[in-house]
C-alpha cells in the first residue's frame, strides 16, 4: 500500500532559507527566517495540552555529548529519554489531535548494534540494573494520563536512531499497539533508513522501520501541524532530523536531540569542565551532540534555528527554552557531567480522550 500524503501546511519563511546552498549564507538566512516563523507561529495561539513523560535513563559516550569538549575520566554521561504527549487543534478541521513525540520502545531499541554491543561488554546485571533506570513505558504513561492507544493519531520522532516501529505500527507479523496512529517522518529520513551507510547502521535497529507504508505520512520540511504545534526540519544529526515546537500561553519550547541540555545552546554558561573553554576557543555559539556527524554544518545551523525559535526560558531567561528528547542527567556514574541547569519539563493544559465516534471512524 502507498504512503499517505501529508494533510498539513508548511511553516512559513524557513523552507526558502533552507534552499540556500552556501552553508554560511544559509545560516544567516535561517537566523532571520526562524524569528519570522516564530512570530507567525505564536500569533496563531497556544497548543491545547502537552505532558512530558520520562521513559528510561541510559549511558551515552561522553565523547559524543558535547563534541569532545567535556573533560572527565567518566566514559559515559547519563541521559533520560522523554516522550511528549501533545494535543492540538488540527489546521483546517479544528479537531483535537493527539501526537506522541519520541515514544521510544526502548526494550526493542536495545537491538541497535551500538547498545547491543554495550550490553554484551558490561553484562546483563550492570547494563540493566546499574547503568539503566526504567521510569515507565509508553503504554503505562498513557494510561496514567487517561488515554489509550486508540486515542493516538500520530507518532513522530526527532530521528530514527534506536527506534523499532514494528511494535507500535505493526509489521512482520507483529500486531500494532496503536490501531489508528500514523507515523510523521521527513521524506529524507525515511529514504535514508531504507539504504543505510555502514557508518550509520550502528545506531539503527535492523528491520525496525519495516512497517506498513499506509501507516506512514511523509513530510517535506517545516510542518505546521495545528494551533501551537509544529515539526521543524532540523537536518544534520541525521538527514531528516526533526524538532518539536510547541507554543504555550507563556512561551515556546523546542525538543530534539541536537543538544543534550539547554547549555548546549549557551555553552559559555556551562559549568561542565571544558565546555565553556571549548566554545570560546572554537568561537561556537552552540555545541553539538556529535555521535554521527552526518552534517555538522547543517546541525549547527539547525541548533541556531532551535535556539531562536524557542527563545529564552520563562523560568531562567539566561537559558534557551530547549528541552532535550534525551536529557543530560545527574548520576553517580557520571561525576562532574550533570547539567548546569534543568528547566521544568513542558506540561500545560488538560489532555482529553478522543471522542468514541471519531475513534471508530
Q: Please indicate, yes or no, if residue 359 is contained in any of the structural domains.
A: no
pLDDT tens column, 319-335? 999 999 999 999 999 99
Has residue 169 got a pLDDT over 50? yes
Q: Which residues pair with 58 in a beta bridge?
A: 79
Domain count, the chain: 1
Nearest Cα neighbor of 302 from 270, 257, 261, 262 is 257
Dihedrals φ, ψ of 91, to 5°?
Answer: -60, 140
Q: Please indicate, yes or no, if residue 266 is contained in any of the structural domains.
A: yes
Q: Please indicate, yes or no, if residue 318 is contained in any of the structural domains.
A: yes
Q: What is the pLDDT of residue 93?
A: 81
Task: For residue 273, give the CATH number of its domain.
Answer: 3.60.15.10
Tell whether pTM > 0.85: yes
How large is the average pLDDT for residues 115-120? 94
Q: Please indicate, yes or no, if residue 356 is contained in any of the structural domains.
A: no
Residues listed for the chain: 361
Q: Please indicate, yes or no, if residue 4 is contained in any of the structural domains.
A: no
293 confidence band (pLDDT: 50, 70, 90): confident
How large is the average pLDDT for residues 14-32? 97
Q: Residue written as cell 555559539?
A: 285
Rounded distance, CA 342 to CA 330, Å? Answer: 10
Q: Please indicate, yes or no, if residue 181 is contained in any of the structural domains.
A: yes
Rounded distance, CA 42 to CA 171, Å? Answer: 39
pLDDT tens column, 228-238? 999 999 999 99
pLDDT tens column, 24-78? 999 999 999 999 999 999 999 999 999 999 999 999 999 999 999 999 999 999 9
70-73 own/partner pairs: CB under 8 Å, 24+ apart: 70/272, 70/273, 70/274, 70/275, 70/337, 71/273, 71/274, 72/273, 72/274, 72/334, 72/335, 72/336, 72/337
359 confidence band (pLDDT: 50, 70, 90): low
Whole domain around residue 100: which residue ranges?
Answer: 9-332
Summary mean pLDDT of the chain: 95
Q: Please indicate, yes or no, if residue 52 is contained in any of the structural domains.
A: yes
Amino acid at each position: 500500500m502507498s504512503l499517505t500524503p501529508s494533510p498539513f501546511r508548511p511553516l512559513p519563511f524557513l523552507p526558502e532559507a533552507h534552499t540556500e546552498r552556501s552553508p554560511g549564507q544559509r545560516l544567516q538566512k535561517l537566523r532571520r527566517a526562524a524569528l519570522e516563523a516564530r512570530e507567525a507561529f505564536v500569533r496563531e495561539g497556544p497548543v491545547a495540552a502537552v505532558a512530558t513523560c520520562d521513559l528510561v535513563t541510559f549511558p551515552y559516550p561522553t565523547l559524543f555529548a558535547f563534541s569532545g569538549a567535556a573533560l572527565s575520566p567518566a566514559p559515559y554521561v547519563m541521559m533520560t529519554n522523554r516522550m511528549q504527549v501533545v494535543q492540538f487543534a488540527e489546521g483546517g478541521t479544528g479537531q483535537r489531535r493527539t501526537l506522541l513525540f519520541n515514544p521510544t520502545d526502548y526494550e526493542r531499541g536495545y537491538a541497535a548494534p551500538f547498545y547491543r554491543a554495550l550490553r554484551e561488554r558490561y553484562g546483563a546485571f550492570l547494563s540493566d540494573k546499574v547503568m539503566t533506570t526504567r521510569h515507565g513505558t509508553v503504554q503505562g504513561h498513557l494510561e496514567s494520563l487517561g488515554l489509550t492507544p486508540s486515542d493516538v493519531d500520530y507518532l513522530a520522532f526527532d530521528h530514527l536512531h534506536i527506534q523499532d516501529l514494528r511494535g507500535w505500527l505493526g509489521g512482520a507479523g507483529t500486531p500494532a499497539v496503536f490501531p489508528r496512529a500514523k507515523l510523521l517522518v521527513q521524506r529524507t529520513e525515511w529514504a535514508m533508513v531504507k539504504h543505510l551507510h555502514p557508518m550509520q547502521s550502528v545506531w539503527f535497529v535492523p528491520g525496525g522501520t519495516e512497517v506498513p507504508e499506509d501507516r506512514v505520512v511523509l513530510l517535506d520540511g517545516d510542518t505546521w501541524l495545528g494551533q501551537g504545534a509544529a515539526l521543524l526540519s532540523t537536518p544534520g544529526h541525521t538527514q531528516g532530523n526533526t524538532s518539536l515546537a510547541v507554543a504555550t500561553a507563556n512561551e515556546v519550547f523546542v525538543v530534539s536531540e541536537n543538544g543534550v541540555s539547554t547549555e548546549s545552546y549557551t555553552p559559555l554558561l556551562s559549568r561542565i569542565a571544558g565546555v565553556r573553554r571549548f566554545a570560546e576557543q572554537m568561537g561556537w555559539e552552540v555545541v553539538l551532540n556529535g555521535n554521527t556527524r552526518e552534517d555538522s554544518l547543517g546541525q549547527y545551523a539547525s541548533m541556531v534555528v532551535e535556539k531562536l525559535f524557542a527563545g529564552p526560558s520563562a523560568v531562567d531567561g539566561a537559558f534557551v527554552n530547549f528541552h532535550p528528547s534525551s536529557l543530560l542527567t545527574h548520576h553517580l556514574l557520571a561525576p562532574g557531567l550533570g547539567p548546569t541547569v534543568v528547566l521544568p519539563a513542558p506540561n500545560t493544559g488538560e489532555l482529553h480522550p478522543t471522542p468514541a465516534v471519531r475513534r471508530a471512524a
